[in-house]
């Protein structure tokens, strides 16, 4: 095989792997998320998803579905009217006193930037919209 052909083969493999990653690979295998509708996220929301999974999902769950340590955001409590976007900035910067649930207080999350919080909020809003909240 000459160099040009090897390059083409390598390129094809790369494209196949990328396609697998984007469309076919099972996401969040093992999580009970089947009832949550995952929309086509905007780019900002996709960045938000990454930041959410790094900083918030340990308690709020993959796809914001909740865990034993924190609530889901797919709940009427967290609709825009009840918890505006500022609630997300404030929660991460200042923490949250336990009040709606019986998990515990939410500690501040200093690892996340305000920009990331805006992306995270967009991600949550798109997820909520797709699921009727």
| Binding site residues, ligand HEC, CB under 6 A | 55-56, 58-60, 69-71, 83, 87-88, 91-92, 96, 98-101, 103-104, 106-107, 109, 112, 120
Measured from the CB atom, is 39 or 107 closer to ligand HEC? 107
What is the maximum span of the chain, computed from C-alpha positions, in angstroms? 68
**Smallest distance from ligand HEC to CB 105, Å:** 7
Measured from the CB atom, is 14 or 94 closer to ligand HEC? 94
Query: Residues for the chain: how many in total?
Result: 133
Measured from the CB atom, is 4 or 97 closer to ligand HEC? 97
Pairwise CA distance, residues 103 & 51, whole Å? 22
Sequence-separated (6 or more) residues with CB below 8 Å from residue 106: 59, 70, 91, 95, 96, 98
Q: Which of 74, 71, 75, 62 is nearest to 91 (CA)?
A: 71
Measured from the CB atom, is 19 or 107 closer to ligand HEC? 107
**Smallest distance from ligand HEC to CB 56, Å:** 3
């Amino acid at each position: 095989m000459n160099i040009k052909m090897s390059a083409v083969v390598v390129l094809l493999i790369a494209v196949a792997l990328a396609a697998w990653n984007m469309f076919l690979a099972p996401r969040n295998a093992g999580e009970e998320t089947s009832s949550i509708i995952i929309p086509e996220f905007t780019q900002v929301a996709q960045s938000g998803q990454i930041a959410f999974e790094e900083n918030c999902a340990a308690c709020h769950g993959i796809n914001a579905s909740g865990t034993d340590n924190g609530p889901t955001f797919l709940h009427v409590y967290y609709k825009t009217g009840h918890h505006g976007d500022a609630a997300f900035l404030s929660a991460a910067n200042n923490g949250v006193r336990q009040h709606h649930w019986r998990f515990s207080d939410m500690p501040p999350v200093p690892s996340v930037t305000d920009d990331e919080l805006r992306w995270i909020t967009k991600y949550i809003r798109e997820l909520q919209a797709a699921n009727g909240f």
